[in-house]
Amino acid sequence: MNVLRSRFFQAVVIWVLAFAILRFGIRPPAPWSVLSLYMFIISLALLVFVSSDRDSWRDFVRPMWLTLTDPRYRVLRTVIVFAVPLLLGYYAYTQAAARPQAPPELRAVHPAPPASIQFRGKEINISGVENPLRKDAAAFAKQVAVGHDIYVRNCVYCHGDNLDGKGHFAYGFNPPPANFQDPGTIAMLQEAYLFWRIAKGGPGLPKESTPWNSVMPAWEDRLTEEQIWQVIMFLYDFTGQQPRRWEAAEHASH
């Protein structure tokens, strides 16, 4: 009965009860921030309670004082001296330790193109090839106009009439259609790279680009080789971007 009247024991019981009620008695559970705030207030109230008069305070401190000084409690004292730092250390460790996390989905948006592709039974070198239509500077405007037409017939639904990837269908797709106005797309790619992507589309992407449910269609059965070069010219002309050159690429890689 003596122990029940002890201020220290009472304080501990009230504290534990309050914690149990707040932690497990409330549905849905209160967040930790709220819980710790309430427990802080309860601790303050308990401190006021046990220190309300001198006897009460002495009563409260006595068990702690005895544990720390009385020869009878040597063993307990030694245990506490080791246990408290160990527990604190363990707590710090659990807070700092890395938690297992699902790996982020890494996928290459611009994977390395194959050296060459089969296009309607013909082998086309991707590495090193330039847009053949650019040789004839006099026909430039005409090729761009044809490319424009091809774009409006085939690509505008996804890549948008402003070439910014915001076509009618764009919002239904993940990944979204490429935004050609963005310097991160065609401006840093070679025309040969675009040829490969337009000819082979999402299905032609290599493994390092998966998991990637790209809806970019493969156009090799619908557009001719010439039409693909034409639409590429339109993409660059409309956006005012310059394709990356093979010489420039060589330079950059050295």
Q: Does 185 bind ligand HEC (CB under 6 A)?
A: yes
In whole angstroms, what is the distance from residue 198 CA to residue 205 CA?
11
In whole angstroms, what is the distance from residue 25 CA to residue 30 CA?
10
Quote the least distance from Cβ 103 to ligand HEC, whole Å: 22
In whole angstroms, what is the distance from residue 73 CA to residue 70 CA?
6
Tokens (6 digits) for 224: 């001719």
Q: Does 155 bind ligand HEC (CB under 6 A)?
A: yes
Q: Does 216 bind ligand HEC (CB under 6 A)?
A: yes
Given the rule CB under 6 A, which of 84-92, 98-106, 125-133, 157-165 is the region that contacts ligand HEC? 157-165
Quote the least distance from Cβ 216 to ligand HEC, whole Å: 3
Q: Does 198 bind ligand HEC (CB under 6 A)?
A: yes
Smaller CB separation from ligand HEC, 63 or 217: 217
In whole angstroms, what is the distance from residue 149 CA to residue 153 CA?
6
Q: List the x/- string, 80-119, binding to ligand HEC by CB under 6 A.
A: ------------------------------x---------
CB-count burial class (<10 Å; 0-12, 13-18, 19+) for 73: middle
Question: Contacting ligand HEC (CB under 6 A), which of 217, 218, 238, 246?
Answer: 217
Angle at 167 between CA 162 and CA 199, to 5 degrees: 90
In whole angstroms, what is the distance from residue 219 CA to residue 196 CA?
10
Say if residues 186 and 243 touch (Cβ distance below 8 Å): yes
Question: Contacting ligand HEC (CB under 6 A), which of 46, 178, 199, 233?
Answer: 178
Q: Does 219 bind ligand HEC (CB under 6 A)?
A: yes
The site for ligand HEC (CB under 6 A) is made up of 110, 154-155, 157-159, 169, 173, 175, 177-178, 185, 194, 197-198, 202, 214-217, 219, 231
